[in-house]
């Protein structure tokens, strides 16, 4: 007998029927003799509907009240699921994030979990109850309600699994596992049997929305075995753990992509030693998250710096640069919208040269212009026009033969 944490996302709890289906999956786990903690998201697209409601009240609602509002979504699901479990004769109890002891840092909208006080949950588990916890939320030391960022229920589940030393954390969702790329865009995408924490972390950070990046971070740091699996089909999903099965000749394991990127170029900067640090310290101080950075020295005294940001941050970025124009001492700012980032990820890249070259050749063969590039040991990212995004992903998926993966058994 062990402890299993199960997490069900928005689509999986999107209606009464779906919540009843989820209650069956929970009961099956309980009947296998395990203690069960269930983490649920808000029903269907209800978080989006709450965001839309807020926008009707204010152009820029305060972050505190946004968190107050958005956390209600998950509270609906925990109570309904618990009622369904009770109706079927099971002892179950629901808790909001703060009732469950989930402490976070004092940042609204995107708080990190700092600590989980598990005494209460353990007491209820010991009494044989199924414990149902609201995802995506916590409380600060000052007693303020916070959210963990969109998609953050995954992180609640993995953090609880780590804190309660669960045997496993199952992430039930609307696809049967982690695929070589988003199966909604590429129909030849294939489900992976396994993937390492590091590869999954890169994919999640680079836009593969199937897992919240911080959930993968937690899983890696606390060695939580994660499985992403279907909430409707009884099939094995994708295991995410330290060692993943060696895949034959597999250099690229997956492709992630993200649209709505903007390139900002600051032209005519003096090419002094401190230029880079001044510009990026200024942006960091204003909480602007910068992604890929490219510096090009046009002549000995002048330099231009380009960087990418999410399009939603573009106007704020430009405002900050304008505000500090005198300090930064540049000639002009240029922006280019409608860009996308396409990234290939695979730990096999470390020992195989020529992967980036092959990626660029494939994009060139498809008449796709690369505007920015960034690499790490296990990924190559390119920024291209948004209109070319799906074509690029399909071409790369084909060229790296991702639909043909064969997995050796461990
Ligand atoms: P949930 O509501 O269960 O949290 P999400 O919508 O957050 O579900 O995540 C599941 C979605 O992630 C899938 O429907 C799929 O479109 C998307 N996705 C993106 N990249 C991948 C990938 N590599 N493998 C599987 N799904 C992916
Ligand atoms: N309900 C939240 C969202 O839609 C959290 C989650 O689903 O993980 O982002
Ligand atoms: Mg999700």
List pLDDT tens digits, range 170-218: 999 999 999 999 999 999 999 999 999 999 999 999 999 999 999 999 9
232-246, 278-292, 305-319: lowest mean pLDDT where? 232-246
- CA–centroid distance, 182 to ligand 1, in Å, is 7
68-72, 347-351, 406-410: lowest mean pLDDT where? 406-410
The answer to whether residues 105 and 7 belong to one domain is: yes
C-beta contacts of 103-108 below 8 A and 24+ residues apart: 103/138, 103/139, 103/140, 103/141, 104/138, 104/139, 104/140, 104/146, 104/148, 105/140, 105/146, 106/140, 106/141, 106/142, 106/144, 106/146, 107/146, 108/63, 108/64, 108/66, 108/67, 108/144, 108/146, 108/147
Q: Which atom of ligand 2 is nearest to the CA of 152?
A: 8
Question: What strands, in cross-sheet order, belong to the sheet with 168-173?
Answer: 92-95, 130-134, 35-40, 3-8, 168-173, 226-230, 238-241, 194-196
All residues with CB under 5 Å from ion ligand 3: 9, 151
Q: Which atom of ligand 2 is nearest to the CA of 74?
A: 1
Q: Which band of pLDDT confidence, cut at 50, 70 and 90, is reported for residue 248?
A: very low
Mutate to test the pocket of ligand 1, among 21, 155, 156, 173 (most ligand atoms within 8 A of CB): 173
Residue 384 lies in a domain: yes
Mean pLDDT taken over the chain: 94
Structure tokens at 123: 């007491």
The answer to whether residues 169 and 301 belong to one domain is: no
The answer to whether residues 23 and 134 belong to one domain is: yes
Q: Residues near 395 by Cβ (< 8 Å), separated by ≥ 6?
A: 362, 363, 365, 366, 368
14 lines ligand 2 (CB under 6 A): no
Residue 405 lies in a domain: no
Q: Which band of pLDDT confidence, cut at 50, 70 and 90, is reported for residue 5?
A: very high
Q: Which of 141, 174, 207 is the last residue of a domain?
A: 174
160-169, 237-246, 320-329: lowest mean pLDDT where? 237-246
10 lines ligand 2 (CB under 6 A): yes
Q: Which atom of ligand 2 is nearest to the CA of 212?
A: 8
pLDDT at residue 170 in the model: 98
Q: How far apart are CA 402 and CA 399, in angstroms?
A: 8
Q: How far apart are CA 309 and CA 296, in angstroms?
A: 18
Q: Which atom of ligand 1 is nearest to the CA of 173?
A: 3
**58: number of Cβ within 10 Å:** 10
CATH number, domain of 342, equals 3.30.2130.10
The answer to whether residues 164 and 39 belong to one domain is: yes
Q: Which atom of ligand 1 is nearest to the CA of 212?
A: 7
- CA–centroid distance, 233 to ligand 1, in Å, is 15
Q: Which band of pLDDT confidence, cut at 50, 70 and 90, is reported for residue 244?
A: low
pLDDT at residue 410 in the model: 37
Q: How far apart are CA 44 and CA 48, in angstroms?
A: 9
The answer to whether residues 134 and 20 belong to one domain is: yes
Residue 366 lies in a domain: yes
The answer to whether residues 34 and 170 belong to one domain is: yes
The answer to whether residues 267 and 366 belong to one domain is: yes
CA of 409: how far to CAs of 49, 53, 245, 248, 403, in Å?
44, 50, 7, 11, 18
Q: How far apart are CA 103 and CA 156, in angstroms?
A: 11
- CA–centroid distance, 210 to ligand 3, in Å, is 6
363 lines ligand 1 (CB under 6 A): no
Q: Residues near 316 by Cβ (< 8 Å), separated by ≥ 6?
A: 286, 288
Q: Which of 174, 203, 224 is the last residue of a domain?
A: 174
CA of 18: how far to CAs of 27, 48, 82, in Å?
14, 19, 13
106 burial via Cβ count (<10 Å: 0-12, 13-18, 19+): exposed
The answer to whether residues 24 and 156 belong to one domain is: yes
Residue 16 has pLDDT above 80, yes or no: yes
152 lines ligand 2 (CB under 6 A): yes
The answer to whether residues 161 and 272 belong to one domain is: no
Q: Which band of pLDDT confidence, cut at 50, 70 and 90, is reported for residue 247?
A: low
109-143: pLDDT as tens digits: 999 999 999 999 999 999 999 999 999 999 999 99
pLDDT at residue 249 in the model: 53
The answer to whether residues 155 and 285 belong to one domain is: no
The answer to whether residues 139 and 264 belong to one domain is: no
43-52, 81-90, 323-332: lowest mean pLDDT where? 323-332
Question: Strands (DSSP E) along 220-281, which ranges?
Answer: 226-230, 238-241, 254-270
73 lines ligand 2 (CB under 6 A): yes
Q: Count how many domains the chain has.
A: 2
Which numbered ligand comes closest to the C-alpha of 9?
A: 1
Q: Do the Cβ atoms of 143 and 162 come closer than 8 Å?
A: no
176 lines ligand 1 (CB under 6 A): no
Residue 195 lies in a domain: no
- CA–centroid distance, 285 to ligand 3, in Å, is 29
153 lines ligand 2 (CB under 6 A): yes
Coil, helix or strand for 240?
strand
* Percent of the chain whose predicted confidence (pLDDT) is above 90: 87
12 lines ligand 1 (CB under 6 A): yes
Q: Which band of pLDDT confidence, cut at 50, 70 and 90, is reported for residue 409?
A: very low
182 lines ligand 1 (CB under 6 A): yes
Residue 333 has pLDDT above 70, yes or no: yes
Structure tokens at 50: 């709450």
Q: Read off the pTM.
A: 0.93
209 lines ligand 1 (CB under 6 A): yes
367-380: pLDDT as tens digits: 999 999 999 999 99
CATH number, domain of 123, equals 3.40.1160.10
Residue 99 lies in a domain: yes
181 lines ligand 1 (CB under 6 A): yes
Q: Residues near 87 by Cβ (< 8 Å), separated by ≥ 6?
A: none
Residue 219 lies in a domain: no
Residue 245 has pLDDT above 80, yes or no: no
pLDDT at residue 382 in the model: 97
CA of 274: how far to CAs of 270, 277, 328, 341, 364, in Å?
9, 5, 10, 29, 36
The answer to whether residues 38 and 152 belong to one domain is: yes
Q: Do the Cβ atoms of 153 and 133 come closer than 8 Å?
A: no
Q: Which band of pLDDT confidence, cut at 50, 70 and 90, is reported for residue 408?
A: very low
The protein residue with its alpha carbon nearest to ligand 2, atom 8, reads 151
Residue 154 lies in a domain: yes
Mutate to test the pocket of ligand 2, among 47, 70, 76, 149 (most ligand atoms within 8 A of CB): 47
Residue 275 lies in a domain: yes
- CA–centroid distance, 313 to ligand 2, in Å, is 21
249-308: pLDDT as tens digits: 578 999 999 999 999 999 999 878 888 899 999 999 988 999 999 988 766 788 899 999
The protein residue with its alpha carbon nearest to ligand 2, atom 9, reads 150
Q: Domain range holding 274?
A: 255-399
Which numbered ligand comes closest to the C-alpha of 8?
A: 1
9 lines ligand 2 (CB under 6 A): yes
Q: Which of 135, 158, 174 is the last residue of a domain?
A: 174
The protein residue with its alpha carbon nearest to ligand 1, atom 5, reads 210
């Amino acid at each position: 007998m062990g402890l299993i944490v199960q997490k069900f996302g928005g689509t999986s709890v999107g209606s009464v029927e779906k919540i009843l289906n989820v209650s069956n999956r929970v009961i099956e786990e309980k009947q296998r003799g395990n203690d069960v903690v269930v983490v649920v998201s808000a029903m269907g697209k209800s978080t989006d509907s709450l965001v839309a409601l807020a926008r009707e009240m204010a152009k820029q609602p305060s972050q505190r009240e946004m968190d107050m509002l958005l956390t209600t979504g998950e509270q609906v699901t925990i109570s309904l699921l618990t009622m369904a479990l009770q109706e079927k004769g099971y002892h179950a109890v629901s808790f909001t994030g703060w009732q469950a002891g989930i402490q976070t840092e004092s940042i609204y909208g995107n708080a990190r979990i700092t600590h989980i006080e598990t005494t209460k949950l353990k007491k209820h588990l010991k009494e044989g109850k199924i414990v149902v916890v609201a995802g995506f939320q916590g409380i600060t030391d000052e007693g303020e309600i916070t959210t963990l960022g969109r998609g953050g229920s995954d992180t609640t589940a993995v953090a609880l699994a780590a804190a309660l030393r669960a045997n496993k954390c199952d992430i039930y969702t609307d696809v049967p596992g982690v695929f070589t790329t988003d199966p909604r865009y590429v129909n030849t995408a294939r489900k992976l049997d396994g993937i390492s924490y590091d590869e999954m972390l890169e994919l999640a950070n680079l836009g593969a929305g199937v897992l919240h990046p911080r959930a993968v971070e937690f899983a890696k740091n606390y060695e939580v075995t994660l499985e992403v699996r279907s909430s409707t089909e009884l099939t094995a999903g994708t295991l995410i753990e330290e060692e993943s099965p060696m895949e034959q000749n597999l250099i690229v394991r997956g492709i992630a992509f993200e649209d709505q990127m903007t390139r900002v170029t600051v032209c005519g900067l003096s090419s002094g030693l401190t230029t880079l640090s001044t510009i990026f310290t200024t942006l960091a101080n204003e909480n602007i998250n910068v992604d890929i950075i490219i510096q090009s020295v046009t002549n000995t005294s002048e330099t231009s710096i380009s960087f990418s940001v999410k399009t939603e941050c573009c106007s704020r970025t430009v405002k900050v640069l304008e505000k500090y124009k005198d300090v930064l001492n540049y000639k002009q700012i240029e922006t280019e919208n409608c860009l996308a980032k396409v990234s290939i990820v695979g730990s096999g890249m470390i020992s195989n040269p020529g992967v980036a070259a092959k990626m660029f050749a494939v994009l060139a063969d498809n008449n796709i212009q690369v505007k920015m590039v960034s690499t790490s040991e296990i990924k190559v990212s390119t920024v291209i026009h948004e209109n070319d995004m799906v074509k690029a992903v399909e071409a790369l998926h084909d060229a790296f033969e991702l639909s043909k993966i064969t997995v050796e058994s461990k």
